[in-house]
């Protein structure tokens, strides 16, 4: 009888309706599952699962796969029910359906960021549209306030080009209808105003810093929904201008002592004022990026983040002149970044690291116990909430694991994992000197591309001796690769003869051939096998608990970058010549969105760098732990694996190019490669045929992993620079962009 019941259940499941494709994707992502994990569980291909989630052309599962897939979705739907649709959205109001008349603002093809669904309605002030904002429009008819007795009104900015559908709008959640952040300023009349995304401006009645925090949490309706089901909503961010700093008794600039400390002293008036109002500060104190909070009550957080540009919160290396922008423009820049990446949590490096955790929270709610209660449980695919020790070879100098080493001991390749980006150059050959130009090409978001699809360790390492190398097992391997040459290598299935002396070694950052056993990350050793050579590791630290932890991180940053570049006129489907033309001067088309693109790229590099953050003062001494070691995201092995794969990806393209064209690079610096050429354009030496690039070689385009034109200088310039500074090993890739030569060493 039980077999009959099972057959009936299977029959019902085979015809059971499945949720829409978009809901299927939401449920998978809410649980932190990748397409690969679902495909492996259901024993289908990754592309099959992707087709089941495709909105444009949904492919329905059949047979036993449908039954198993339906069961998976039902389980996930129980854990992550769909959010209720607000009643207000059922019937749009006059203000919600108002559209501005055509004008100069509409003529701009670039978005100001996500427009709020409705404007804030408070009993203490009015919501206004800034006449200076890029999204300003003629005022719509006001509607009565929802609070009885209130005299306030609310208005909505005119409709503008929205953020891409893959980027959640800041106003999608009614709790955060005014966007993720606001720039707080004082107008000419002395009124404190909050400039939100979409051109909305709110009156701020707060007379003090504690009152500003209270107003933000109770009335401003600022914040951002969580990026993952088990995660947390982003706290509202307030950006304080110089004028509002003076209004609330804060200094416009930090003193030298305060700047070095990174905060105001504990005895400062503003700090004491917050303490009297029962507000707390995190360990970073009241500094350029401050967090003001009260202990959470249940699931409700009471926290506001401050960003103070005049205290150097927005590093000009990554944010350009954002700190000098008018409030409405700054709100636009930060708002677009927040909607496409996440609400900034500090520097771009801090935000890059926080994005990893936001997409893979360490914990999630467990299944109900016998009493029906849920508890905090480990979230599969995350790094967990407790830090793990790295392997001794992965530890940077000064780490507590190395405390027993002699004081002045210098670790060599056989003791230390040294996976870094390329910095290699060679003298030009006689044939290359007869050419006219040096052309540099640069890989777009190279380190993001290196993270895509990379299997990394999630837990602690396991030490093994004389292991058999497994290219699918992340870890660090002690192996001798000195026998691997580049004169005869395997490219695909064929052996190819190359001029090995004109190529950098793929195994060392300086491009030198290794001399004996050394520690390497898995991608580096796997590449030696790919080139056709046998490897025999002596020992290894491997991580059996592993997964593609960075996939979601890569995808969100990739989508943010591509959407921003598309707004700047550079699209992913352009022909090579059109792409080069579009990249020429793209930053001048909208300098504000160019800032966003720069910040996104800095988020990639900075976030990966934070995985191996070094001590930052605080009286640290070698052999002692430092603050970053207490984070689960302090993972030098993950950083090393990403850099290893990025360097190998670049070398693979260089070898494919050399095997097909006979051209060899003159210099390589990180993600930039310089070739000698008769023409000034990359199209003069990249082997395009009928618009199609060399398979596996360099391809022009805006997507991560593809290349763009970095710069062109003359061969005479390169020889003259090396001769003038008596540096035959000078890396010309460092100066190829504009030809300006600085920080020259002897090339050794």
* pLDDT tens figures, 267-320: 999 999 999 999 999 988 999 999 999 987 766 789 999 999 999 999 999 999
What is the torsion angle, in degrees rounded to the nearest 10, for the CA atoms of residue 242, residue 244, residue 248 and residue 249? 20
- pLDDT tens-digit readout, 333-358: 999 999 999 999 999 999 999 999 99
Tokens of 697: 């070689």
pLDDT of residue 70: 86
- For the chain, the structural domain boundaries read 2-79, 105-143+151-345
pLDDT tens, position by position, 432-471: 999 999 999 999 999 999 999 999 999 999 999 999 999 9
If you average pLDDT over residues 699-719, what whole number do you get?
96
Q: How confident is the model at residue 111 (pLDDT cuts 50, 70, 90)?
A: very low
Q: What is the tens place of the pLDDT at every residue in 516-549?
A: 999 999 999 999 999 999 999 999 999 999 999 9
Q: Does domain 2-79 have CATH number 1.10.260?
A: yes
Phi and psi at 230, nearest 5°, equal -80, 0
Query: What mean pLDDT value characterizes the chain?
Result: 85
Nearest to 390 by CA among 644, 643, 631: 631
- Global confidence as pTM: 0.79
Q: Distance between CA 623 and CA 400 in Å, rounded?
A: 4
pLDDT tens per residue across span 18-76? 888 888 888 888 887 888 888 888 888 887 888 888 876 677 887 778 888 888 888 88
Q: List all residues 6 or more positions away from 190 whose beta carbon is below 8 Å from its beta carbon.
A: none
Token pair listed for 165 = 């559908």
Find out whether 117 and 200 touch, Cβ atoms under 8 Å.
no
Distance CA 747, CA 685 (A): 27
Q: Which of 481, 499, 494 is nearest to 665 (CA)?
A: 499
Pairwise CA distance, residues 319 & 68, whole Å: 48
- Cβ density class 441-477: b for 16+ within 10 Å, e for less: bbbbbbbbbbbbebbbbbeebeeeeebebeeebbbbb
Tokens of 331: 């709100």
Task: Quote the DSSP letter at residue 681.
Answer: S
pLDDT: which is higher, 104 or 562: 562
**H or E element, residue 186:** strand 181-186
Report the pLDDT value the prediction gives residue 331, as an integer from 0 to 100: 97
Res. 77 pLDDT band, cuts 50 70 90: confident
Residue 714: phi, psi to the nearest 5? -80, 155
- Residue count (the chain): 748
H or E stretch at 104:
helix 104-107
**Coil, strand, or helix at residue 98?**
coil
User: Could you tell me the two tokens for 561?
Assistant: 């970058």
Interaxial angle between packed helices 522-530 and 636-661, expressed in degrees from 0 to 180 and rounded to the nearest 10? 20
Written in H, E and C, the secondary structure of 119-177 is: CCCCCCCCEEECCCCCCCCCCCCCECCCCCCCCCCECCCCCCCCCCCCCCCCCCCHHHC
**Dihedral class, residue 72 (left if φ above 0, else alpha if ψ from -120 to 50, else beta):** alpha
Q: Lowest-pLDDT range, 304-313, 605-614, 737-746?
A: 737-746
Task: Evaluate if residue 7 carries a pLDDT over 80.
Answer: no
């Amino acid at each position: 009888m039980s077999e009959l019941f099972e057959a009936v259940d299977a029959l019902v499941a085979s015809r059971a309706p499945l949720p829409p494709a978009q809901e299927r994707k939401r449920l998978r992502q809410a649980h932190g599952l990748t397409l690969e994990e679902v495909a492996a569980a259901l024993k289908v291909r990754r592309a099959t699962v992707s087709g089941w989630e495709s909105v444009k052309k949904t492919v329905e599962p059949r047979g036993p796969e449908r039954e198993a897939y339906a069961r998976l979705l039902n389980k996930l739907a129980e854990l992550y029910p769909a959010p209720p649709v607000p009643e207000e959205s059922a019937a749009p109001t006059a203000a919600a359906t108002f559209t501005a008349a055509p004008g100069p603002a509409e003529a701009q093809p670039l978005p100001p960021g996500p427009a709020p669904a409705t404007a804030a309605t408070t009993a203490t002030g009015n919501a206004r549209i800034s006449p200076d904002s890029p999204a300003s429009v003629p005022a719509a008819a006001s509607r009565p306030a929802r609070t009885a007795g209130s005299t306030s009104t609310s208005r909505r900015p005119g409709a503008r080009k929205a953020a891409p559908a893959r980027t959640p709008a800041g106003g999608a959640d009614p709790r955060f209808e005014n966007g993720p952040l606001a720039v707080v300023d004082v107008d000419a009349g002395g009124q404190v105003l909050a400039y939100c995304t979409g051109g909305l401006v709110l009156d701020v009645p707060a007379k003090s810093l504690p009152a500003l925090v209270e107003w933000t949490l109770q009335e401003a309706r600022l914040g951002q929904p969580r990026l993952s089901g088990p995660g947390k909503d982003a706290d509202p961010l307030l950006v304080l201008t110089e004028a509002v700093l003076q209004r609330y008794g804060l200094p416009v600039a930090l003193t030298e002592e305060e700047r070095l400390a990174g905060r105001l002293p504990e005895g400062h008036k503003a700090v004491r004022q917050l303490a009297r109002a029962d507000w707390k500060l995190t360990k970073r104190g009241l500094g350029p990026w401050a967090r003001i909070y009260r202990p959470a009550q249940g699931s409700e957080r009471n926290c506001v983040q401050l960003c103070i540009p005049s205290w150097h919160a927005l590093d000009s290396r990554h944010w350009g002149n954002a700190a000098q922008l008018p409030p409405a423009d700054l709100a636009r820049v930060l708002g677009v970044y927040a909607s496409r990446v996440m609400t900034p949590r500090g520097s771009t490096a801090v935000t890059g690291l926080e994005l990893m955790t936001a997409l893979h929270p360490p914990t999630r709610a467990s299944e109900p116990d016998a009493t029906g209660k849920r508890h905090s449980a480990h979230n599969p695919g995350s790094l967990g909430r407790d830090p793990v020790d790295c392997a001794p070879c992965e530890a940077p100098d000064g780490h507590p694991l190395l405390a027993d080493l002699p004081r002045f001991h210098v670790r060599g390749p056989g003791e230390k994992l040294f996976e870094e980006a390329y910095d290699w150059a060679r003298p030009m050959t006689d044939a290359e000197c007869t050419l006219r130009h040096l052309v540099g090409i640069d890989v777009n978001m190279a380190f993001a591309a290196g993270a895509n699809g990379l299997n990394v360790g999630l837990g602690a390492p396991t030490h093994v001796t004389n292991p058999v190398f497994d290219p699918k097992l992340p870890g660090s391997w002690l192996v001798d690769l000195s026998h691997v040459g580049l004169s005869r290598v395997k490219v695909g299935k064929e052996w190819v003869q190359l001029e090995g002396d004109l190529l950098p070694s793929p195994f060392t950052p300086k491009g030198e051939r290794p001399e004996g056993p050394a520690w390497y990350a898995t991608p580096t050793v796997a590449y030696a096998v790919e080139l056709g050579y046998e490897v025999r590791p002596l020992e290894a630290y491997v991580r059996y608990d592993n997964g593609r932890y960075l996939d979601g991180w890569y995808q969100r940053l990739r989508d943010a970058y591509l959407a921003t570049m598309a707004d700047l006129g550079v699209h992913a489907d352009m022909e090579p010549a059109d792409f080069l033309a579009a990249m020429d001067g793209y930053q001048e088309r909208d300098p504000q969105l160019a800032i966003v693109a720069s910040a996104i790229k800095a988020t990639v590099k900075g976030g990966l760098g934070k995985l191996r953050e070094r001590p930052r003062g605080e009286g640290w001494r070698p052999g002692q732990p430092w603050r970053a070691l207490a984070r689960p995201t302090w993972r030098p092995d993950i950083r090393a694996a990403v850099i290893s794969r990025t360097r190998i990806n670049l070398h693979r393209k260089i070898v494919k190019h050399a095997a097909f064209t006979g051209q060899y690079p003159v210099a390589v610096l990180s993600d930039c490669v310089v070739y000698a050429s008769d023409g000034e354009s990359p199209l003069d030496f990249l082997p395009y045929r009928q618009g199609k690039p060399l398979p596996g070689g360099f391809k022009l385009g805006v997507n991560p992993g593809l290349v763009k034109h970095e710069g062109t200088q003359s061969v005479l310039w390169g020889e003259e620079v090396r001769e003038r500074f008596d540096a035959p090993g000078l890396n010309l890739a460092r100066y190829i962009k504009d030809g300006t030569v600085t920080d020259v060493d002897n090339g050794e």
